[in-house]
A = this chain, B = another copy of it.
Amino acid sequence: MDSSNLIERVLAGETRAVARAISKVEDGAKDAALLMKEVFPRTGRGLIIGITGSPGAGKSSLVDKLALLYRQRKERVGIVCVDPSSPFSGGAILGDRIRMQTLGLDRGVFIRSMATRGNLGGLARATVDAVAILDAAGFNKIIVETVGVGQDEVEIVKTADVSVVVLVPGMGDDIQAIKAGIMEIGDIFVINKADREGVLRTEKELEALLSLAARTDDWYPPIVKTVATENKGIDDLASAIESYREFQLKTEASAPRRQAIARWRILELLRERLLARTLGSDSASERLDALAAEVADKRRDPYSAVEEIMNEAISSQ
């Protein structure tokens, strides 16, 4: 399957071609840039929903139930699960297998976990590229689910059209810990496991925090209560997502957001490309290892090492 053939089949929505295209952007394959240049102009039809929240908040169940609801409405659903804390991907694969039992036999659902590949980075960039591929392939809803609540995850969720933050009752400490950064990215808040004690208190605390959050638009983020494992409140969540989407389209509130996403995306890719250009050759990579050994033994400081790498890269260009 050559590149142009692959692109055609991706645009036709073929599952295997989509999987292969995502592997290419994940691996940073040579022809990934060519692929993405073709894919990018075909994006913008699907709705991208970002879902984040603390570990243990039940995000996976919530995503699965939301996907099932969209499936009942005959929509095609892509799920991209981002797991930066699992560099060895064992965890991600295990999670996938469990999910495949409920959703995986359905051809209208595509599930993919993205994990870190080595320390040259690129996970966030690969994730937005994977979302773009699913979008161009005609998936109507693309859900990006994160495992953690770190900076990378927040950045990725910010690239969605609609961002959903999931909490559970009795997370007083948690809300305190999650704080400003994540509060400001949520367009919709979900209190999952809402059959547990302390829902009211969590709701009050959340309302108080939301009243402090500085939004750049006039949207007031709704709080939706769900019990994902019992399929309760999923309709409400879907309605809230739809309402925010309508608000966005009506107010053109999405223009500065789209510009910020584009800027972030360029920066991510630029960072990756600059590093690849500087360290891409085998000799440069060996040089890095040699310098790292010197720094580890304190025979050299990291700043001098970096200056040396940069000077060598310039003189070899």
A interface residue numbers (CB < 8 A to B): 33, 36-37, 40-41, 43-44, 54-58, 83-88, 90-91, 94, 116, 119-121, 123, 147-154, 171-174, 177-182, 184, 255, 258-267, 269-271, 273-275, 277-279, 288-289, 291-298, 301-307, 309-310, 314, 317
State the CA gap A289–B279 with chains docked (Å): 27
Inter-subunit contact B269/A271 (CB<8 Å): no
The answer to whether B56 and A171 have CB atoms under 8 Å apart is yes
Closest B residue to A88 by beta carbon equals: B180
Q: A85-B181, A147-B179 are in contact. List 5 more A-B contacts (CB 8 A).
A: A260-B292, A266-B305, A269-B306, A270-B278, A274-B310
Name the one of B44, B55, B173, B314 contacting A173, with C-beta atoms under 8 angstroms: B55
The reply to whether B264 and A119 form a contact with Cβ atoms under 8 Å apart is yes
Q: Which residues of B contact A54 (CB under 8 A)?
A: 54-56
Chain B residues within an 8 Å CB radius of A302: 36, 40, 262, 265-266, 269
Question: A111 → chain B, closest Cβ, in Å?
Answer: 17
Question: Which B residues touch A123, using CB under 8 A?
Answer: 151
Given A55-B149, A150-B148, A182-B85, answer yes or no on A295-B273 (Cβ-Cβ < 8 Å).
Answer: no
Q: A292 is contacted by which of B149, B152, B262 (Cβ under 8 Å)? A: B262
Q: Judging by beta carbons under 8 Å apart, are B174 and A270 in contact?
A: no
List chain B residues, Cβ under 8 A from A297: 258
Q: Which of A85, A179, A261, A263 has the most CB of B within 10 A?
A: A85
Rounded to whole angstroms, the CA-CA distance of A259 and B56 in the bound complex is 34
Q: Which residues of B contact A303 (CB under 8 A)?
A: 33, 36-37, 40, 269
Q: 13 A-B residue contacts at CB 8 Å?
A: A37-B303, A56-B171, A56-B174, A90-B179, A94-B179, A148-B153, A150-B151, A258-B296, A262-B291, A262-B292, A266-B288, A271-B271, A274-B310
- With a cutoff of 8 Å between Cβ atoms, the chain B residues found around residue A91 in the complex are 179-181
Q: Which of B153, B263, B274 contacts A288 (CB 8 A)?
A: B263
Pick the contact of A180: B36, B86, B150, B153 (CB < 8 A): B86
* A314: chain B residues within 8 A (beta carbon): 317
Q: Please tell me if the beta carbons of B270 and A306 are within 8 angstroms of each other in the complex.
A: yes
Tell me the minimal C-beta distance from A267 to chain B in angstroms.
6
Closest beta carbon of chain B to A46's beta carbon, Å: 14
Distance in Å from the Cβ of A211 to the closest Cβ of chain B? Answer: 14
Q: How far is the CB of A268 from chain B (nearest CB, A)?
A: 9
Q: Would A262 and B295 count as touching, CB distance under 8 A?
A: yes
Q: Chain B residue with minimal CB distance to A42?
A: B298
Of A43, A259, A289, the most chain B CB neighbours within 10 A belong to A259
Residues in B neighbouring A273, C-beta threshold 8 A:
306, 310
* Least CB distance, A265 to chain B, in whole angstroms: 5
Residue of B nearest to A121 (CB): B271
* A179, chain B: closest CB distance, angstroms: 3
Q: How far is the CA of A135 from the CA of B260 in the complex (A)?
A: 38
Whether the Cβ atoms of A266 and B56 lie closer than 8 Å is no
